[in-house]
């Protein structure tokens, strides 16, 4: 069966009122080269009446307090900044000639090209746009909000806060629950410049296979109880689930026992800067923590030991972040290029996307849309589709020859 999506002419959604102009500086975290990429996601809803019209108006209102989002990236003195031009967010309205049920509610892997439900850059006369949104209505009455946003403006929590404001405005509120604050200058620059000089690293492409797994709450509770029984301490859902995934992956890929296997995840440092950051800050403020162990040790470790490794790394955040700020090269989280031994985890479960309600209820599911990136093994930590409870994992982390074993191990966790 062939499916068709018709897109109307794209437009720019500008703030509904006059907003400040001028350039705003980004923090060094925003300006890191690793932040200059577009994050893509879909937010699927079971029903809604003329959602594009409602969201269009709510965006225009939300861009008043979040006026930098309507600007453009610009270079000043060799540094990336945001020019508050008020030019707007790129917006596309679309209709589909099929129902959500026809495409499995847009569960991954997608049954339609991602280009059909995500907005893409307009002609060359529009450059350095910060955010693009497409609202697509389906024949069944459901709709999907497709978002592309530049990570240099903020992380998941920052864009989640902005979209929460859009949802508030769509439901009739006049102002955000917390007013946004720029505050980028409050983040201290490292004592020594963070340089990423020299020739660009050479990455080896890998034939990484995709897998989606739902871990039920009962299983998570069982693993947490096991940890608590042996240690007398509590651990988070993230700790125990990522520990299992990291270990399963190590057993599946079977590297040499002495080879390092690593798991990396972004840890928020907002609490470490709470004395300087204003309430409502929505910029990047994280440190990529990496946990490393010899392959043989990880494969043969108990759950308690692996969770302990994760928790030890999290407990070290204040120390390693301070060292990074002091210019210690050993604390540079980007010093080692990714290889097959690294698993990069991104936690989307608490950034607010799953709670976005424009007036017809929360989404039935939210998912990142990740291009085939054969250079880094990844795992996304999400909420499962309602009404299920637990964790949904979207992984692209093992090559074809290791997929069967990894799939079998992960299925045992379901």
For residue 27, what is the DSSP state? P
Measured torsion, CA atoms of residues 27, 28, 30, 36, in degrees rounded to the nearest 10: 150
How far is 95 from 355, CA to CA, in rounded Å?
24
Distance CA 367, CA 348 (A): 9
The residues, any chain, with a CB within 8 Å of residue 298's CB and separated by 6 or more, are: 246, 247, 250, 261, 306
Instruction: From the candidates 30, 43, 150, 151, give the one annotated as an active-site residue.
Output: 151
Clarify whether 372 is annotated catalytic: no
CB 207 within 8 A of CB 399: yes
**Residue 328 falls in the annotated catalytic set:** no
CA-to-CA dists, residue 141 to 4, 138, 307, 354, 393, angstroms: 16, 5, 44, 20, 28
The closest of 188, 200, 197 to 324, measured between CA atoms, is 188
Q: Are 308 and 226 in contact (CB under 8 A)?
A: no
Count Cβ atoms within 10 A of the Cβ of residue 59 and give its class: 0-12 exposed, 13-18 middle, 19 or more buried: buried
Q: Which string of DSSP letters, residue by residue, matches 276-343?
A: TSPTTB-S--EEEEEEEEEHHHHHH--HHHHHHHHHHHHHTHHHHHHHHHTT-GGG-TTSS---TTEE
Tell me the sheet residues that pair with 93: 135
CA 100 distance to own-chain centroid: 24
Closest CA to 289 of 262, 326, 270, 255: 262
Those residues whose C-beta lies under 8 Å from the C-beta of residue 46, and which sit 6 or more positions away, are 100, 141, 142, 360, 361, 364
The rounded distance, in Å, linking the Cα atoms of 101 and 131 is 29
233: alpha, beta or left, given left = phi > 0 and alpha = psi -120 to 50?
beta
Distance of CA 101 to the CA centre of its chain: 26
Name the DSSP class of 273. G
- Of residues 214, 328, 357, 407, which has the active-site annotation? 357
Q: Which residues are catalytic?
A: 151, 357
């Amino acid at each position: 069966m062939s499916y068709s999506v018709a897109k109307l002419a794209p437009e720019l959604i500008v703030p509904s009122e006059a907003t400040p102009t001028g350039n705003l500086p980004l923090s060094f975290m925003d300006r890191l080269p690793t932040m200059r990429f577009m994050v893509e996601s879909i937010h699927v809803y079971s029903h809604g009446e003329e959602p594009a019209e409602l969201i269009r108006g709510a965006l225009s209102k939300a861009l008043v307090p979040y006026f930098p989002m309507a600007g453009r990236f610009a270079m000043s003195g060799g540094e990336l900044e945001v020019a508050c031009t008020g030019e707007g967010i790129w917006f596309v309205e679309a209709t589909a000639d099929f129902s959500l049920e026809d495409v499995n509610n847009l569960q991954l892997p997608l049954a339609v090209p991602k280009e059909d439900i995500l907005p893409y850059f307009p002609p060359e006369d529009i450059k350095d746009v910060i955010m693009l949104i497409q609202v697509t209505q389906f024949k069944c009455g459901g709709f999907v909000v497709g978002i592309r946003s530049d990570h240099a403006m903020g992380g998941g929590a920052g864009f989640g806060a902005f979209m929460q404001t859009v949802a508030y405005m769509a439901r009739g509120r006049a102002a955000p629950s917390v007013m946004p604050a720029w505050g980028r200058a409050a983040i201290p620059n490292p004592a020594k410049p963070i340089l990423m000089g020299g020739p660009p690293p050479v990455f080896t492409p890998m034939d990484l296979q995709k897998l989606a797994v739902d871990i039920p709450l009962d299983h998570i509770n069982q693993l947490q109880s096991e940890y608590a029984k042996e240690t007398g301490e509590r651990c988070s859902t993230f700790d125990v689930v990522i520990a299992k995934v990291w270990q399963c992956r190590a057993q599946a890929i079977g590297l040499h026992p002495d080879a390092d296997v690593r798991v990396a995840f972004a840890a928020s440092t907002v609490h470490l800067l709470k004395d300087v950051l204003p309430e409502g800050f929505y910029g990047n403020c994280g440190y990529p923590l990496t946990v490393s162990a010899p392959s043989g040790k990880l494969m043969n470790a108990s759950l308690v030991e692996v969770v302990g490794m994760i928790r030890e790394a999290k407990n070290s955040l204040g120390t390693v972040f301070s060292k990074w700020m002091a210019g210690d090269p050993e604390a540079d989280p980007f010093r080692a290029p990714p290889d097959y031994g690294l698993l990069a985890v991104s936690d989307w479960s608490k950034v607010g996307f799953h709670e976005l309600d424009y007036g017809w209820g929360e989404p039935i599911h939210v998912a990142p849309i990740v291009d085939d990136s054969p250079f880094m093994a990844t795992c996304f930590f999400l909420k499962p589709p309602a009404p299920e409870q637990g964790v949904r994992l979207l992984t692209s982390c093992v090559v074809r020859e290791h997929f069967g074993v990894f799939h079998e191990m992960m299925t045992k966790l379901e």
